[in-house]
Each structure stands twice: as C-alpha cells, then as structure tokens.
Structure 1
C-alpha cells in the first residue's frame, strides 16, 4: 500500500475569527488501534493504523485508510470506476473509522467531521469536558518514561499513559489535555486500545482548510440521529435524499425476494456492529 507522508498546515476557519488561522503541525504520531466491533464476540477484533498530526495549537486525527481513501477519491476519474484497479484500491481503503477529528487547543474545541452519504457534516465538543486523574504509576513505552492517567468518557472508563518527555498535550481520538503526549490509551475492557508505534517529523507540506468546504455544522444529537438512519437503511435514505440540484437517486430491487434478502443481511451486519467507541 502506498504510504503518504506530509506535514499538514491546517487552516481553522472559525466563526469566532474574522480571519483564518494557520497552524503548522510538525509531528506525525502513529498508533495501532485494536478494537472489538461486536461486544458479544471477542473474535471480532480488528486493527487499523491511525495517524495523529500535531505539534502546534491544534491537531488532526484520522485513520491511514481514511487518508488513502480521500486521496483515491481525488485521483481517480469517473471512467475508472468499476475497473479492477478501482476495486482493488477501494478494498484497500475500507475503514470502520470514516471520519476526521480536529482539535483546537486555544478554543478548547473538538471538531468531529464526517460524510453521511453526500452530506459533509461536523459537530463541536469541548476538549476540557474530558477530566483526567493523574496516578502515581509509571512505566516505559518505546523508551519514553510514561505516567498513568484515568478518565470516564462517553460511557467508558479509560486508562491512558502519557510522557512529559514529549511536551505536547495531545493524543489519539478525542483525548488530550495531559502534560505530555498520550502514548497509549484503552478502555478498561480492552475493547478499544491505542498503541504508540512511532513519531516522525519529515513530511512534505500540504494545506488543509477547516471547517472543510461545503461541510455544515450540526448538533451531535442531530448528527448521530441522521447517521443512525443511514446505517439502518441506506437504500431508503438514498432514495429519500434530494441533492442541491434537486435531483434524486433511486435504487430498486429486481423483486421482493431480493429486497428481503438485503434487509436480513443488513440486520445481521448491524447486530455485529454493536460496540462503538462512544457508548453514550
């Protein structure tokens, strides 16, 4: 799989700013995330490589496959869709984490950005709502002296290990606010475990804009409701969707039997995806 190495220059275009703010993210932290999508089946565990770009006043968190997927969508043209090359590359970028998380420490804000079908949306949370308790326990992680911290977040209890040897108050996913980089974090059930794999600084610069163009702000409640509707019945969602042009897309089945097979398959699939990182 082709690797993409870069420094990200994030432009935060925020409502409270009359001008956009540029922030150079000097570090790429690589984590391996091991997770269990089905709480009833320990054998359902999977893993993905996760990237955290950080080092300035903010950061960007996304999966490696999400980055490759976005790159693929920009580089492939319509004539290539359906080709074997397109199928191979699409399969290689399949991810359970099809979102990006931006943090702005100055504003104490976390921005969760994600597309639901063709709509790009984001919602905002306060980073300071994650309250940490720093413990006395210490250990070495990849040669870094690390200290334990605990928190409760989104219905789970988490244990984190941070190092003051890297004085960046950031970490994977929505975790931040400790006096050093978070190298490991996991829930106490070990259903979501982030392991530190490395830190690098040599990238080619690119520019990203935030909020992304054409992305609209939503409340978290409305976003989750819309996402749930799409996940439970994507074909119904798409058939009811009206784009900006006013045009509709219609997906139909050859017969009622095919429709029933699809519904049963979707129901089984959703039953196995019952364990998101945020339970509430």
Structure 2
C-alpha cells in the first residue's frame, strides 16, 4: 500500500520527493505516534535522519487536522461533579442524604469524602457525581485539591442559624475558593445554600449575601495589603471582583445563586426536607 506521506532525502543532490510504501503496523511513526490513523505510515527506520516533509499541505488539512482537533477536544477534563462544601456542622451530610434518597439520616462530623450518583430532577435526566467533603479546617484543603478540577458546581452550605458567629470563618473559606486558580479557570456554578431555615433565628439568604459581600470586601483589602508588604507587589495574586469597586458576587466570572433550604425540614425528622430551590438549581446545570 502506498503511503500518502513522503519524505525528501536532503542527501539526494536532486532533492527528489521519494514515496515510500510500508505494509503492516509495527513500531511507531513520527507523524502519528500520538494520533493513529487508518493509513499505512513510515516506520522510523525508513525516515532519513535529515527529516521529512508532507507531500502537500492539503493532506494535513484533510487527514491530520481533524485528528488533532478530535484529540484536543476529547482530552479535556470532564466537569461532572457537584461538591458539597462548608464549615463543620453546616448540614452538608444531611443535605447529601436528602438529595440522594429524600430520607432523614442521623449524621456526624465527616472525616473523609462520600460520593454517589445524583440524577437531576429535569427532563434531560442529567446525572452528576455528588461529593460530600469534610468541613474541618484541617481536612478541607486536601479534599478540595483532590476534587476541584472536576467540579461542575460547588454547593457552599452555610449554617443560617449561627451565621452571625461564623461570618468571618465562612467568608475566609469562600475567599479561598473564589481565588483558587483552578476554580477561577473552570468557573463552576456556585450555589450558596443557606441551610437550617427551620430554626427560628436563621438569617435570610439576602442578609447572608449582603454580610458576606461586606466581609469579603474587608478580606480583599487585608489580603492584598499582606501580600504587598511581603514582596512589594500584589500582582501575583488573583484579585477578587473589580478593582475600585466594593465587592459583589455579581462581579465574579461564574454564576452565583443564594438560596434558602433546610435539610431537616419544618416538620422535623418525619417530614420532607425543604430543598426544592436547591434541586431546581441543580436541574439547570
């Protein structure tokens, strides 16, 4: 079989383009070692050390270019995970159980991740890998590092009942997430689930958003000042929001939603959870 590739032997004074034929599939070829194609190719032994050229540039466009494109398009990371993150005791594991089975479950502080397939409540029947990450501050970094590149969405769970006490810690964790280079590049949807709305003293989603924006604005100033004092320039860090303006979640490159929910539900353990707004947002991913 005659290969569509040919090489120029630069040692040949006449510089002829000499076609080569090669039967079988042995070894590798410098033109298609990474991109096998259904044509016969030149073995390494048949190619002169001085190099080779394509017979015509149009052959590259017709045959190799589509293969290159297919390789790069299919080699991208698939973002199919929904991460449940937040501080300890925010109610992540109960939400994890409610989303999967609808049932109430007694939970305890997680020390490792849990994952399962979650089918979105929509006509498309989309399926995501739901992953519950530990909330302890000594465990969060390693698990976030492990799963962040696969995140299609991040559900940031907030304990609305004691938010006033935890606002600084919540803002700091959120700041770390939103200035992470991988997360900024992939821009997963951010769903801030203001949980435990069944508790009387729970703060509303609107109030939580406003207080977090204010706290994040303060954090942005102090973090930037700390970096500048260390190396004389804050240029190496990711700037959150827009310079010269107070921070707002609407300035971020990813979609952000705040919603109210309750993993326990208003009727307690025997009743249903109040997670319709969360399920609706997950259905739109």
TM-score (norm 2): 0.21
Task: Determine which structure has greater relative contact order: mean sequence separation of CA pairs < 8 Å that are 6+ residues apart, divided by chain length.
Answer: 1
Larger radius of gyration: 2
TM-score (norm 1): 0.21
Structure ranking higher in helix proportion = 2
